[in-house]
Amino acid sequence: MNKILDLIFEDVKNENETKKTAVTLRISALIFIGYFLCLMAVFCSMGDWMNVGGCLVCGVCYVLSFYTTYLDHTRESAWISQILMIVWIILFIVMFGWDCGVQHYLFAFLALNFTVSTAGERRKVLTAVGACALRLALYAYARNFKPYSPLDPGISVLIQILNTIFIFAQITAVMIIFTKDAQKMEQKLVRYNTKLQKLASVDALTGLWNRRSMWEYIRAVEYDYEVGNAGFVSIAIADIDFFKKINDTYGHDAGDKVLKAVAGLFMDKMKTYGRVCRWGGEEFLFVFYGRNGDAAYDALQEIYDEIHRLTVPYENEEIRITMTFGLEEYDQNDGMETAIRRADEKLYQGKETGRDKIVY
């Protein structure tokens, strides 16, 4: 069984051709070989040896079609397969009439054409129009001319059942082969786009929102105010005291570790208070949603106390830090940019008056 599967899924040697097309043509040929073998069995049971011979010829043609997919001429194999299908559909309608049901294979023909053809969209549309015209022409022919070999009603039903089974098998096989990779690629693209969105919105070092994401959030908060859906909002900016000294003393790896530790603390504490982002360098911006200045000050005091208890192990040292905070309550009349600027002014006021404090 594995050898048969390896044979069916064998790759093409021509670099300008695709394995997917060759595999589709092989599976299509095998399905039709199975179909004509079943028809041969039906006609054998009737003793209709002429039609047995006709089905045998069709089956042999599909064996040859299967073989041509290994000759590095996949495009020619596709043409052979499609022309062969059109020819025997026409012959079957002429021989057995409309009730044999093979006209429904034109839908399988379209599925095969759209998946294995390298033609442009315009030519594929013309092919679909041609297939529709052929179906109508065959119907008109069947209405005006009697079949050369009318089928017994019971045999006609049996052939209709075979047609239904093999048409569904043909279309299903083609669609599975050609949509499998597309679905995988689509899922991969979705994951990649999600990753890109995350990279675009998150600071790579700390995992906090970046400045761009915070601005989007701030604009949303301002909109909530405009439509009357927001309560109090307060803004705070924090800066690690003497951060340059940490980098100079211990190295930039230590500085990065401090930033990550501080970011982890902020991320944990701000889950219930609002949002925090890395504003730039060693600066962080906090948005306390639903809290006025006094309530934000109490929340900031908790964060301030946690910073004092924080130790960052680095090699044989334990790095301790302090931070300075500037806090401002948002006033809708002044706007968010003004609130941020005032919080920043208070931050620098705190730095100029000794650092390690909250200025409100």
Distance CA 249, CA 197 (A): 36
> 9-18, 46-55, 336-345: lowest mean pLDDT where?
9-18
Q: Strand 323-329 to strand 312-314: parallel, antiparallel, or no bridges (unpaired)?
A: unpaired
Does the pTM surpass 0.75? The reply is: no
* DSSP per-residue letters across 53-120: HHHHHHHHHHHHHHHHTTTT-HHHHHHHHHHHHHHHHHHHHHHH-GGG-GGGHHHHHHHHHHHH----
Question: Which tokens is 333 given?
Answer: 């009349």
Contact 266, 276 (CB under 8 A): yes
Given a cut of 90, is residue 87 above it in pLDDT?
A: yes
Distance CA 138, CA 93 (A): 7
pLDDT-based confidence at residue 164 (cuts at 50, 70, 90) = very high
The model's pLDDT over 259-317, given as tens digits with 9 standing for 90+, comes to 999 999 999 999 889 999 999 999 999 999 889 999 999 999 999 999 999 999 998 88
- Position 255, amino acid: G
Given a cut of 70, is residue 22 above it in pLDDT?
A: yes
More reliable by pLDDT, 45 or 119: 45
Given a cut of 90, is residue 327 above it in pLDDT?
A: yes
Output the average pLDDT for the chain: 88
pLDDT for 14 equals 64
Given a cut of 90, is residue 129 above it in pLDDT?
A: yes
Please report, rounded to a whole number, the percentage of residues in the chain having pLDDT higher than 90: 56
Distance CA 6, CA 99 (A): 39
pLDDT-based confidence at residue 250 (cuts at 50, 70, 90) = very high
Contact 29, 63 (CB under 8 A): yes
Given a cut of 60, is residue 183 above it in pLDDT?
A: no
pLDDT-based confidence at residue 193 (cuts at 50, 70, 90) = low
Task: Tell the burial category of 16 from Cβ atoms under 10 Å away from its Cβ (0-12, 13-18, 19+).
Answer: exposed
- With residues binned 3-state (H G I as helix, E B as strand, rest as coil), the percentages for the chain, rounded to 5, are 70, 10, 20
Residues of the chain with CATH 3.30.70.270: 211-359
Fold of 211-359: Alpha-Beta Plaits (3.30.70)
What distance separates the 2 farthest-apart alpha carbons in the chain?
109
pLDDT-based confidence at residue 357 (cuts at 50, 70, 90) = very high
